[in-house]
Amino acid sequence: MKRLALLLALAGCQNQARDLGSSRTTSHAAQETPAPAVSSSPAPDAAPHAEEPAYEEVVLGAATATSPVPGIATTLDTLRDQSRVCYTQVSAHHPGAGGRLRVTFVIAPTGEVKTATIVANGGLPKALAECVVEHARKARFQAPEGAKEVAMSLWIAFGGAAP
């Protein structure tokens, strides 16, 4: 938990990050609620292991959603890991590929992803974007609070790019 707080502070998100699983009152207009940024990078003061790169190959930016989604960090951790597999596969054919994607989701009241779309691609190979969005479509979230449809947006950075 201390590591996540440190990562959020470093990303400048400490004032925006909220646990999307917390209860809150919303107005009739959809409000975006930022979720914590998720990264498996070591803390800055931790020495990297010899086999680890100096930067994180795949980093998720802060997610925004129109309503709380319980347990969102677990699903986003899985999506990050799947995106890393996509990146590794595509990097074999496109060495040095780096950039970022913005993915939007619509999460059904059941927690299933109704739609997932790449809305921005900052210089990444099409094959990487297609692989990531395919995994995003298969993601499974916990049912959103209030059993309603939720729109969510997420930046994913690859190859050392900032999310």
Whether 142 maps to a domain, the answer reads yes
What angle, rounded to 10 degrees, do the helices at 126-138 and 72-91 form?
Answer: 150
Say how far residue 58 (Cα) sits from the centre of its chain.
10
Question: Over the stretch 105-129, which tens digit does the pLDDT of each residue have?
Answer: 999 999 999 999 999 999 999 999 9
Range of the domain at 99: 2-18+31-41+53-158
Whether 71 maps to a domain, the answer reads yes
Whether 26 maps to a domain, the answer reads no
Question: Over the stretch 69-94, which tens digit does the pLDDT of each residue have?
Answer: 999 999 999 999 999 999 999 999 99
Query: Who has greater pLDDT, 102 or 15?
Result: 102
Q: Does the pLDDT at position 52 exceed 70?
A: no
Which positions ≥6 away from 124 have C-beta within 8 Å? 97, 98, 99, 100, 101, 158
**Residue 145 pLDDT grade (very low, low, confident, very high; cuts 50, 70, 90):** confident
pLDDT of residue 108: 96
Whether 47 maps to a domain, the answer reads no
Whether 23 maps to a domain, the answer reads no
